[in-house]
Amino acid sequence: MTKTIGRLTWAVAEGYIPPASTGTTRELTSHETVCILNANDEDARVEITVYFADRAPAGPYVFTVGGKRTRHLRFNDFADPEPVPLGTDFSSIIASDVPIVVQHTRLDTRQPALALLSTIAFPLD
Amino acid sequence: MTKTIGRLTWAVAEGYIPPASTGTTRELTSHETVCILNANDEDARVEITVYFADRAPAGPYVFTVGGKRTRHLRFNDFADPEPVPLGTDFSSIIASDVPIVVQHTRLDTRQPALALLSTIAFPLD
Amino acid sequence: MTKTIGRLTWAVAEGYIPPASTGTTRELTSHETVCILNANDEDARVEITVYFADRAPAGPYVFTVGGKRTRHLRFNDFADPEPVPLGTDFSSIIASDVPIVVQHTRLDTRQPALALLSTIAFPLD
Amino acid sequence: MTKTIGRLTWAVAEGYIPPASTGTTRELTSHETVCILNANDEDARVEITVYFADRAPAGPYVFTVGGKRTRHLRFNDFADPEPVPLGTDFSSIIASDVPIVVQHTRLDTRQPALALLSTIAFPLD
């Protein structure tokens, strides 16, 4: 289909996990997500670094995205080496050993009607 | 106007058909869409492959977008070779035989007020 | 600051004017917008062509964006050579004689809480 | 990780601070934001110029974004050399002396349910 399916390094300058939710299910809990497509045959090892306003970066958070698979990773679920704090501005850089495509999405249910945002991440290579 | 109107291959890393709707019309039913502009004179044959977290990709789903026409395709309507499951994370790659422009939009009416997201897709060539 | 501030030709594959509104002011009427930044010294002559699913394109719609000015143009207001129909899928190509930057935004108040989407347009040159 | 982490100059063609809010906290006050990631070791000096429909540009607004830090700057808070008016269409150009990544986000709580939009800015260099 195409030889190079994506890029190795991506940045998402926006980042914020809404600290409250009106939804009660996992689907309708406020969340901040990076969606990663690995359209290659081999698995991708993905490292995510999280940047803050007033402290040193956290991470890397390490994930595997299988060949010809997608993963929609929630920053809410990040635990190792440390959780990402709620209600805090951050940014992230996503680095992979095989080309991937990255998109950033938020679902916000702080008020009693959900809101969504999404944008393609910015490729750094 | 311009010689190359778009690209041949696009990726959308985000994908999710909200499994419920408060709207009752087709317009206000939750949906996930790829908008495809074919600004060339000749028709475009478009093949869409859908990637999942835990199974092999589905497709290709094949569509024609006429010359100097646009089509806003809903993943909800995809049927051949198989439907796209609701409430499931996915990604997609859109490949065309003539240059096109692709944008991704979701309308979500799970809660009683609609939400929207949209982003330009990522060009792979 | 920078020598080339933008591009000459842009595409927005998504396009839809919600046919209803719960808002009663111009600000809260559902609308579809292209935001155009002309950061150059000279005026920009901008031509917008609108593409549909099942008919020939409409336009060009011609606008002037002054040097070092921005205009946020609503498709709802387009009149010459013909209005853009409500509730209808479309795409658009924005061509300028000096480099510009284009972003696409929708405000949708069909249900009693507004929704927004926005994305940078796709540069064709 | 990568040698060039971002770009020096970015444009955001959309810009509008909703002039009202149903939220009462800073978090739920309607706001227009540029999120800036500086993933380099050295600090970034960032200058933002704001363009309007019918008057000369305002600025530059000058900010420092520390090395390996992010700042999510609200246009609502801009004061020097002058505030950015509410309810007014604008665009912005963000110029830095070291490479950065810029994303644009709005939170709108004019109606009693928040709405969000976000998009990566457009790199001019």
Q: What is the pLDDT of residues C22-34, one digit of tens each?
A: 888 998 899 999 9
What is the model's pLDDT at position B3? 55
Nearest CA to B101 out of B7, B1, B4, B3 is that of B7
D23 pLDDT tier (thresholds 50, 70, 90): confident
d(CA B15, CA A103): 10
Q: Which residues of D touch A13 (CB under 8 A)?
A: 35-37, 70, 100-103, 120
What per-residue confidence (pLDDT) applies to B81?
98
> In this complex, do C122 and B119 lie within 8 Å of one another by their Cβ atoms?
no
Of A2, A114, A119, the CB nearest to B119: A119
pLDDT tens digits, B32-70:
999 999 999 999 999 999 999 999 999 999 999 999 999
Report residue D105: phi and psi, to 5°: -140, 140
| Interface touch A112/D113, C-beta < 8 Å | yes
Q: How far is the C-alpha of C42 from the C-alpha of C49, rounded, in Å?
A: 23
Q: Which residues of C touch D89 (CB under 8 A)?
A: 35, 70-72
Helix ranges (H only) for D23-120 are none
Q: Which of C77, C82, C86, C73 is nearest to C12 (CA)?
A: C73
Using the Cβ of B119 and the Cβ atoms of chain A, whether some distance falls under 8 Å is answered with yes
User: What is the Cβ-side half-sphere exposure of residue B29, based on CA atoms within 13 angstroms?
Assistant: 12
Q: Dump pLDDT digits (tens) for D90-118.
A: 999 999 999 999 999 998 888 877 888 88
Most confident of A72-76, C5-9, C22-26, D19-23: A72-76
C-alpha distances (whole Å) from C84 to each of B61, C15, C21, C48, C50 are: 30, 10, 17, 12, 8
CB contact under 8 A, A117 and D117: yes
Q: Across the strands, what pairs with B51?
A: B91
Radius of gyration for the alpha carbons in chain C, expressed in angstroms and rounded: 15
Q: Do B2 and C106 lie within an 8 Å CB cutoff?
A: no
At residue D2, the pLDDT reads: 44
Interface of B with D in 97-116 (CB under 8 A): 113, 115
Q: Measured between alpha carbons, how far is residue B12 from residues A100, A103, B23, C1 in Å?
A: 11, 8, 26, 33
Average pLDDT score over residue span C91-102: 96
Is A69 in contact with A111 (CB distance < 8 Å)? no
Nearest Cα of chain C lies from the Cα of A36 at a distance, in angstroms, of 19
Report pLDDT digits (tens) over C80-93.
999 999 999 999 99
Instruction: Give the confidence band of B24 by pLDDT, cuts at 50, 70, 90.
Output: confident
Say which residue, A5 or B33, is predicted with more confidence. Answer: B33
pLDDT at B1: 43
Do residue D119 and residue B119 have CB atoms under 8 angstroms apart?
Answer: yes
A17 vs A33: CA distance, rounded Å? 9
Residue B92: partners with Cβ closer than 8 Å, 6 or more residues away: B11, B12, B15, B34, B48, B49, B50, B51, B75
Q: Which residues of C touch D111 (CB under 8 A)?
A: 22-23, 28, 109, 112-114
Query: Stretch B22-31: mean pLDDT, rounded?
Result: 88
Q: How far is B13 from chain A (nearest CA, A)?
A: 5
CA distance B13 to C97: 34
pLDDT (average), residues D28-53: 95
pLDDT at C22: 86
Contact with chain A for residue C79, Cβ under 8 A: no
Residue B2 has pLDDT above 50, yes or no: no
Q: Is the pLDDT of residue A2 over 50?
A: no
Which pLDDT band holds residue D87 (cuts at 50, 70, 90)? very high
Q: Which residues of C touch A108 (CB under 8 A)?
A: none
Nearest of A117, B14, C35, C113 to residue D116 by alpha carbon: A117
Q: Which of A91, A104, A121 sits opposite D70 (nearest CB)?
A: A91
**What's the mean per-residue pLDDT of chain D?**
92
Q: Residues of A numbered 33-52 whose beta carbons fall under 8 angstroms of chain C's beta carbons: which are they?
A: none
Looking up tokens 């002011």 gives C25
The full set of domains in chain D, from first to last, is 7-123 (2.60.290.11)
User: Whole-model pTM above 0.90?
Assistant: yes
Q: How far is D46 from chain B, CA to nearest CA, in Å?
A: 26
For tokens 């803050």, name the residue.
A52
